[in-house]
Amino acid sequence: MKVLDPEQRPLHGLKVLDFSQFLSGPLCSLRLADLGATVTKVEREGTGDLCRNLYISDTDIGGANSLFHAINRNKQSLAVDLRKEQDKERLRELIPHVDVMIQNFRPGVIERLGFGYDEVKQLNPSIIYGSISGYGESGPWKDLPGQDLLAQARSGLLWLTGDRDHAPTPMGLAAADMMAGNALAQGILAALVRRGITGQGALVQTSLFEAMLDFQFEVLTTYLNDGHRLPQRSALNGAHAYLGAPYGVYRTSDGWLALAMIPSLERLCTLLGITSLERFYGDQQALMTQRDVIKAVLAERLLSATTEHWLSILQPADIWCSQVLDWAQMRDSEAYRILDMEQQIVRDAQMELHTLRSPIRIDGATLKSPVAAPALGQDNARVWPSR
């Protein structure tokens, strides 16, 4: 698949100063970098972004973990000491020449450092200032750690996920960080469009908590308009608290099969060779009120044959279903290969990384870039040539 030239990318020429650390803010700036922006990552002199040493596996690549490299590829690094007034002054001289600034410190920290929105907009009135917090800038939770699992827990997502009698179940990835980072990128892009029309700068804010609430807007809207009745999760093959049978994931003789919404329970049962659920045919309410009874019968039947056997029967009949793939199986699929999602990035002989590209395509081309995450401070001379 064709790769879009850097000069042709929509944000080519845009300059971003990124004070953020860990995952949410850096994900936002990664999205902007992939779209062509020049992102300069402001890091603490000597130690850098704490994410450099936040290992999520035992894989070390060029002195940092794979997460840091994946989330900070295609960026520059500026190592500064914000305890030194000289470094602060150099940053103040830089701010009038950038378009976007991003930060994700706890509320009050960036202001104490002298780079809150009020201070920055005095230096650059048209700047787009993006900010991510844990739980907003006020209220009783504002000073609590803005950490992904904790935000998932406080948002209700853990309680909503999993079977009824199981413990609250977190998602298997940093959903709050990723949702917040993408939400901030969307807000920044919208603010840039307005600035192009009016010349007006903007403060764009979100939080991990807001992103988690937005992630659940579909089911929360039902709750808010349904007499505040809490949904009852299925005790068996739970997948969505508000959807009836057969919606869920079922074990087969050699793997797992996901079943989504169906046009007719009778049709599904006929295809599966089940005759014991006839009393529920045509009763849409029963798909919810009796879903565990229905699911138990389906589960027993589906266990009797392979996943491929059931797919060969259900998919031609337009029953919404899928094999549950692990990463190796997913990567072996033609659907994955044709999208050309993977890319190789290289910094030096010690830093080579196999990772994914941006999910966005423009004019039929991908936004791949071979530029790796920077070594700490490697771009100081480029950004501050007189230092």
Token pair 């849409």 in the structure block, residue: 284
Which pLDDT value is given to residue 55? 63
pLDDT of 10 over the 80 cut: yes
Per annotation, catalytic residue among 177, 283, 318, 379: 177
Q: Average of pLDDT values for 350-362?
A: 88
Buried b (16+ CB within 10 A) or exposed e, 78-99: bbbebeeeebbebbbebbeebb
Structural domains for the chain: 6-215+339-383 (3.40.50.10540), 256-323 (no CATH)
Radius of gyration, alpha carbons of the chain: 25
Q: For residue range 311-346, what is the model confidence (pLDDT) as tens digits?
A: 999 999 999 999 999 889 999 999 999 999 999 988
Give percent of the chain with pLDDT exceeding 90. Answer: 79
Which pLDDT value is given to residue 66? 85
Whether 270 and 317 have beta carbons less than 8 Å apart is answered as no
Q: For residue range 174-230, what is the model confidence (pLDDT) as tens digits?
A: 999 999 999 999 999 999 999 999 999 999 999 999 999 999 999 999 999 999 988
CA dist., res. 148 & res. 161, Å (int): 16
Q: Average of pLDDT values for 93-119?
A: 97
pLDDT of 356 over the 90 cut: yes
Which pLDDT value is given to residue 233? 83
Please indicate whether residue 283 is annotated as part of the active site.
no
Whole-prediction pTM value? 0.91
Which pLDDT value is given to residue 111? 97
**Residue 23 banded pLDDT, cuts 50, 70, 90:** very high
Which pLDDT value is given to residue 277? 96
pLDDT of 80 over the 80 cut: yes
**Residue 248 banded pLDDT, cuts 50, 70, 90:** very high
Continuous H helices in 66-174: 66-72, 85-94, 109-112, 117-123, 148-155, 157-160
pLDDT of 238 over the 90 cut: no
